[in-house]
Amino acid sequence: MKHVGLNVAADLLFTAAYSGVSGGLVFVVADDPGMASSQNEQDTRRYAVAAAVPMLEPSDSQEAYDFTVLAFNISERWGIPVILRLSTRISHSCTIVEHGNMPIAAPDPGFKRAPEKMVMIPAHARPAHKRLRIKLEEIRKWNEAEGPNLTIAGKGKPALISSGVSFAHCREAAPEAPVLKLGMTNPLPIGIIAAFARKHGDCLVIEENDPYLVTEIRGEGVNVRGKEKKFRIGELNVSRVKKIISGDKSPDPEPAKGMPPSLCQGCPHRTVFAILKEMNCLVSGDIGCYTLAVLPPLNAMDTMIDMGAGITVGLGMRHALPENEARRVVSVIGDSTFIHSGITGIVEMVYNPPATGHTVVILDNGTTAMTGLQEHPATGRKLDHRKTNRVIIEDICRGAGVKNVQVFNLPGKADKFRGELKKALDSNALSVLIARQVCLLAALRIRKLEKAQE
Amino acid sequence: MYQAKVTNIKITGRGGMGILTAAGILAETAFLAGYDVKRSELHGMSQRGGSVSSDIRFGKKVFSPMIPDGETDYLLLMADDQADVFGHDLRMGAEIISSVIFGPSGFPHKKSLNIAMLGALSAKLDFHHKIWLDVLEKIFGKEVVDINISAFNLGHKIMNQAIAEKHQ
Ligand SMILES: Cc1ncc(C[n+]2csc(CCOP(=O)(O)OP(=O)(O)O)c2C)c(N)n1
């Protein structure tokens, strides 16, 4: 999952660390330093510490392969969830991989009743927390003795401590420097780090994102240096690592700008945003292709925070703003995002209706376009495109208690949509208007699929 | 200090131009030719016509998957309007290969421009022709493999002619 995906899964992670697991459970989480396609650059390593679970950081494709196997081995041996922390460059790069024998067969499924381990009431959770800390200490000792850490001899100062893709940049930026590469970064092999620091004296930690390693290592009383503050922001590369090492304070070159993306010609989202703009709406938006409506020429989105916030932030604005402004607020959300995290917003709207009512527009393009045209429960097809039950978005909204739920097949019903949107905004009612037209890219694919099935 | 020379190639353009396919073919060819290879790409919103670029690096040993600033040896420009964007990445004397080599109206078959450009690049690299063809055959299905191989060969020929003219 993405780093922000772990925010959604975090509730489970924290308590699954207590309950423990009987098979292997590995969270593969990719951070996005530099935000190639994300809304923030949060650092997953903080989650590993906060939830007290082991974490591995591969530095290329080979290690992504090897560490996945290792993560499952650790998870099964200690009965603990493990985080495999990737970053944009690890996920979006290919390096040569030698396959090993696939050593892991899934254990036979079965459920052993053990409510004292699996039902986390406080009386069970207190001893579970103690067990978790004992496991972590055992794993730390294992990491010191036989963990996936690597010391590379070299000469000159400073000596470098690194992990993940930053390690590859280090080797290129300073091929002669001694390097300690950490493969497991929680719990840290602090004994190895302390010995390395004692041997080399001046040690510099090279890491992407937050100053996580440097803070933790210094917290253990080992004297190491970290990067300048500005390198916390954005991706590292060989040039930036050279600057960190030499203390060069000159500004980085402007990153390549390139062509900004835009909604496709003929994209159904365009029709809807043109109308919202024409009607001078305050648009509480959400995440998907349609977020591109914020850019010129449409300039038709006012807020976008996270998946699901389109509805709930819109509701907040309706509650808080003076009436004449509140009336202009429209929540806009895509079909996939609605299924993922919009439903609770609809429930909230019905339960705590704003005085001026509210209008939610669902952009149903029959796919998850932005992330690569994946299916979702409202398309009626599984991820591998096989047919399955279809969840009906309008039924969910009506079932939750929204009275005015209407579906408009675009582009034919665009005028009807405009008229009903105006009516909804003028009334104090709760409305869900579903603008339906299959994404052009998905339509091509669906036609191919249907042909293949014939 | 010994540092085995790494060759750095950047392929850029926009979503839908087959940049990642071309990058894959180049990386696979370098791999089969016996080099260490790393390839990385950014294509956040490529389906929406945004910029796509891929770095391919090969040599005896490659560390970072990203080409360091100012070290690009060859820039393959699928869309000419990307030239300014990546200008600062080039090494002194780097070569820019753009679709202009196919004449003012570009390559006739838009869909195989990516492969024709690889063909042109292949005239500058010393991989055996046979390896390239093996990889093309492995990557492309029956229906399109011939079109792509002739696009590749045409690109190769045109670049060789251009090199010959320069030396006259
Ligand atoms: C918590 C979280 N998980 C995943 C993502 C990645 N993501 C971005 S947009 C999107 C879904 C977009 O689909 P949809 O709402 O149907 O809009 P479309 O792109 O089809 O217009 C996802 C899953 C995210 N931003 N946040």
Alpha carbon nearest to ligand 1 atom 4, residue = A5
- Model pLDDT for residues A225-267, shown as the tens digit of each residue: 999 999 999 999 999 999 999 999 999 887 767 777 889 889 9
Amino acid making up residue A130: K
Q: What pLDDT is stored for residue B2 in this prediction?
A: 37
Alpha carbon nearest to ligand 1 atom 2, residue = A5
Q: By three-state DSSP, how is residue B36 classified? A: strand
Alpha carbon nearest to ligand 1 atom 1, residue = A5
Ranges of chain A whose pLDDT falls below 50: none
Find out whether the beta carbon of A369 lies less than 6 Å from any atom of ligand 1.
yes
Q: Distance from B123 to chain A by nearest Cα, in Å?
A: 25
Taking the centre of ligand 1 as the mean of its atom positions, its distance from the CA of residue A333, in whole angstroms, is 10
Q: B99 pLDDT band (50/70/90 cuts)? A: confident
Across the interface, do B27 and A94 touch by the CB < 8 Å criterion? yes
Q: What pLDDT is stored for residue B4 in this prediction?
A: 59
Across the interface, do B40 and A93 touch by the CB < 8 Å criterion? yes
Token code pair at residue B140: 């492309």
Mean confidence (pLDDT) of chain A: 95
Q: B107 pLDDT band (50/70/90 cuts)? A: confident
Taking the centre of ligand 1 as the mean of its atom positions, its distance from the CA of residue A291, in whole angstroms, is 10
- Model pLDDT for residues B151-160, shown as the tens digit of each residue: 999 999 999 9
Find out whether the beta carbon of A307 lies less than 6 Å from any atom of ligand 1.
yes
- Model pLDDT for residues A436-453, shown as the tens digit of each residue: 999 999 998 888 888 887
Judged against a pLDDT cut of 70, whether residue B44 lies above it is answered with no
Q: Distance from B155 to chain A by nearest Cα, in Å?
A: 26
Q: Assess whether the previous peptide bond of A158 is cis (omega < 30° from 0).
A: yes
Judged against a pLDDT cut of 70, whether residue B83 lies above it is answered with no
Pairing of strands A179-181, A159-162: parallel
> What interface predicted TM-score (ipTM) does this complex get?
0.91
Q: B1 pLDDT band (50/70/90 cuts)? A: very low
Alpha carbon nearest to ligand 1 atom 11, residue = A288
Q: By three-state DSSP, how is residue A220 classified? A: coil
Please give the sequence-ordered ranges of beta strands (E in DSSP) within chain B, or none if there are none: 7-14, 36-42, 51-59, 72-77, 90-98
Helix axes of A268-278 and A414-426: crossing angle, nearest 10 degrees: 40
Amino acid making up residue A250: S
Q: What pLDDT is stored for residue A259 in this prediction?
A: 72
Across the interface, do B65 and A258 touch by the CB < 8 Å criterion? no
d(CA A240, CA A209): 13
Of A88, A238, A264, the CB nearest to B68: A238
d(CA A53, CA A67): 15
Q: Which residues, 6 or more positions from A342, have their beta carbon under 8 angstroms from its beta carbon?
A: A286, A308, A310, A311, A333, A362
Q: Which domains does chain A have, with CATH numbers?
A: 3-98+116-146 (no CATH), 150-246 (3.40.50.920), 268-452 (3.40.50.970)
CA A282 vs. chain centroid, Å, equals: 27
Of A60, A168, A259, the CB nearest to B14: A259
This prediction's pTM = 0.95
d(CA A235, CA A88): 9
Write the CATH number of the domain with boundaries B7-166. Answer: 3.40.920.10
Residue in A with minimal Cα distance to B44: A37
Other beta carbons within 10 Å of A86: 24
d(CA A275, CA A297): 13
- Model pLDDT for residues B25-40, shown as the tens digit of each residue: 999 999 999 999 999 9
Q: What pLDDT is stored for residue A399 in this prediction?
A: 98
Q: By three-state DSSP, how is residue B43 classified? A: coil
**What is the longest distance spanned by two Cα atoms in chain B?**
50
Q: What pLDDT is stored for residue A454 in this prediction?
A: 73
Q: What pLDDT is stored for residue A260 in this prediction?
A: 76
Q: Assess whether the previous peptide bond of A297 is cis (omega < 30° from 0).
A: yes
Across the interface, do A256 and B50 touch by the CB < 8 Å criterion? no
Q: B87 pLDDT band (50/70/90 cuts)? A: low
What H or E segment, with its residue span, contains residue A343? helix A343-351
